[in-house]
Amino acid sequence: MQRPALLSRARARILVMFSGDPDGTPAWVRALETGDDEGYFGPGSAVWEVHSGIPTVVAGIRALLMQTLHPGAMAGVHDHSRYREDPLGRLSGTVRWVLTTTFADRAQAAAGCAWVARLHDSVRGDYADADGTMRPYTAGDADLVGWVHCVFADAFIGSHETWGGPVPGGSDQYVREWATAGELMGMVDPPRSRAELDAAIASYLPVLRRDARVDEAVRWLRRPPLGRGVGPAYRVLFAGAVASLPDQYRELLGLRRPRWPAIALTGLALRWMRLLLGSESSSLHFTRRRLERLATDRQPSV
């Protein structure tokens, strides 16, 4: 059964956002079929369960909101990011890193993290800290690598806790497994439980602040140029991301919890997106083909 044109355009727009390709099968997704092992996680892992779930759509928004609160991270985004000129390119690049690290074999996952780390080598400059002192930064600084890892992990598991189903081993297992991604990105001793993750994020509170750059980024995140087919649904997802944030971080961002039932309506929007996109992502499809090939190769010859 053919989809109405409006729904087809909306689906293509969403897939471009996430993968850079209107069919959802760019070269890096197809490459998930290649490789010689299951990868760092594999079927049945907490990371597979969380990262293959539709709540990751909201997790991306939540992570970017949190990321802006660190003045070093915000300076990197403000001074070096293409998000104003090519917002979908930046988003699809982040999605590529997450899904490659999650589903690819170990060689591809490690290479993808090394590629991102090399890009970070050129992201450098200065930012003003809480007392106005100018401090140099690079995107590879330990505190920035740690902050980005922690807010992404928190966004993924926090969104899944709100809108997803059970996680194998629970939230602690997810944080423990995803610590591998932090190590691949150069983080020393990443958190390995939900409590450790919450404590690690809270340890940044003396550094976090809101300024004009944060307000500009939040305004953009509230209404990015996504078009009529996706824009209304996105605004519901944005409200859900805001509502799901812990109070202290939402207040730091200068945002109020929506007066309407944003959590419930975001759940409905996510179910609509799952119906639109299908039950299994192209990333999982090509990953399963690799695993099936590996299982066949391991079978003894008769």
- CA–CA separation, 167 and 54 (whole Å): 14
How far apart CA 53 and CA 266 sit, in angstroms, is 14
Contact, 95 vs 191, CB < 8 A? no
DSSP string spanning 156-212?
HHHHHHHHS---TTHHHHHHHHHHHHHHHTT-SS---SHHHHHHHHHTTTTT----H
Structure-token pair, residue 120: 């970070």
User: Which pLDDT value is given to residue 79?
Assistant: 74
Whether 270 contacts 55, CB under 8 Å: yes
Query: Please, which contacts does 225-229 make with residues 24 or more away whose CB atoms are closer than 8 Å?
Result: 225/87, 226/13, 226/17, 227/13, 229/6, 229/9, 229/10, 229/13
- Return per-residue pLDDT of the chain as tens, 302 residues: 455 666 666 666 666 666 566 777 888 999 999 999 999 999 999 999 999 999 998 999 999 999 999 998 888 877 766 655 555 555 667 888 999 999 999 999 999 999 888 877 778 888 877 777 788 878 888 999 999 999 999 999 999 999 999 999 999 999 999 999 999 999 999 999 999 999 999 999 999 999 998 999 899 888 887 766 677 888 999 999 999 999 999 999 999 999 999 999 999 999 988 887 776 788 999 999 999 999 998 876 55
Dist CA 254 CA 92 (whole Å) = 27
50: three-class secondary structure by DSSP: helix
C-alpha–C-alpha distance, residues 290 and 81, integer Å: 34
* 274: CB partners within 8 A, 6+ apart: 54
* CB-count exposure of residue 302 (10 Å: 0-12, 13-18, 19+): exposed
Confidence (pLDDT) at 1: 46
Backbone angles phi, psi at 135, to 5 degrees: -125, 135
The phi-psi region of residue 116 (left if phi > 0; otherwise alpha if psi is between -120 and 50; otherwise beta) is: alpha
Q: What backbone phi and psi angles, to 5 degrees, belong to 134?
A: -80, 130
By residue count, the chain amounts to 302
pTM of the complete model beyond 0.85: yes
Cα 165 from Cα 142, distance rounded (Å): 33
